[in-house]
Amino acid sequence: MVEHVAHVAASRLDHVFHALADPTRRAMLNHLASGERTVSELAEPFAMSLAGASKHIKSLEAAGLVIRQIKGRQHLCRLQPDRLAEAHQWLSFYQRFWTERLDALDALLRQPDPDPVLPVKTKGDDT
């Protein structure tokens, strides 16, 4: 059961990162962060067809990042932040990992250098 839950969570993250891999979809999410938008409003900055915008929105919906609501002829899209929070949580682990590593490196580099070891001349050494 635990393996199944882990697999489902990994699959959801796969969908989220796949959706976020496209710059157009990231820009659409950025627009949705300030409020609900129609498909036309999301398509407008990209000079793309409604069909093209709809394909991007379907990818965002499949990842659970966007909810689309149909009101008459209008398709309204709204940001669904829960999946972004899950992705952020996953990334936070690696942020902590690298922060700890970089802090350790910083501490090491800030340690005073030990006295340099000078070569000892031996008998018969011309240098």
pLDDT recorded at residue 7: 52
Residue 4 banded pLDDT, cuts 50, 70, 90 = very low
55 vs 10: which has the higher pLDDT: 55
Task: Assess if residue 95 is contained within a domain.
Answer: no
Domain of residue 21, residue span: 2-83
**In-domain check, residue 92:** no
Does a structural domain hold residue 69?
Answer: yes
Question: What's the CATH code of the domain at 19?
Answer: 1.10.10.10
- The answer to whether residue 108 is domain-embedded is no
The CA-atom distances, in angstroms, between 40 and each of 15, 23, 28, 118 are 24, 18, 11, 74
Q: Does a structural domain hold residue 23?
A: yes
Q: Please check the confidence at residue 25 and state whether its pLDDT lies above 60.
A: yes
Strand order in 66-71's β-sheet? 37-38, 74-79, 66-71
- Token pair in block for residue 14: 């796969």
CA–CA separation, 70 and 95 (whole Å): 39
Proportion of the chain above pLDDT 90, given as a percent: 50
pLDDT of residue 102: 85
Q: Does 60 fall in a domain?
A: yes
- Which residues, including other chains, have CB under 8 Å from residue 121's CB and lie 6 or more apart? 127
Residue pair 57/66 in contact by the 8 Å Cβ criterion? yes
Q: What is the number of structural domains in the chain?
A: 1
* 3 state DSSP class of 68: strand
The string over 67-81, giving b where at least 16 C-beta atoms fall within 10 Å of a residue's C-beta and e elsewhere, is eeeeeeeebebebbe
The per-residue pLDDT of the chain, averaged, comes to 86
Max mean pLDDT range (12-16, 46-50, 55-59): 55-59
d(CA 37, CA 32): 6
* The pLDDT of residue 31: 96
Report if residue 17 sits inside a domain.
yes
Q: For the segment 54-102, what is each residue's pLDDT rounded down to a tens digit? A: 999 999 999 999 999 999 999 999 999 888 888 899 888 888 878 888 8
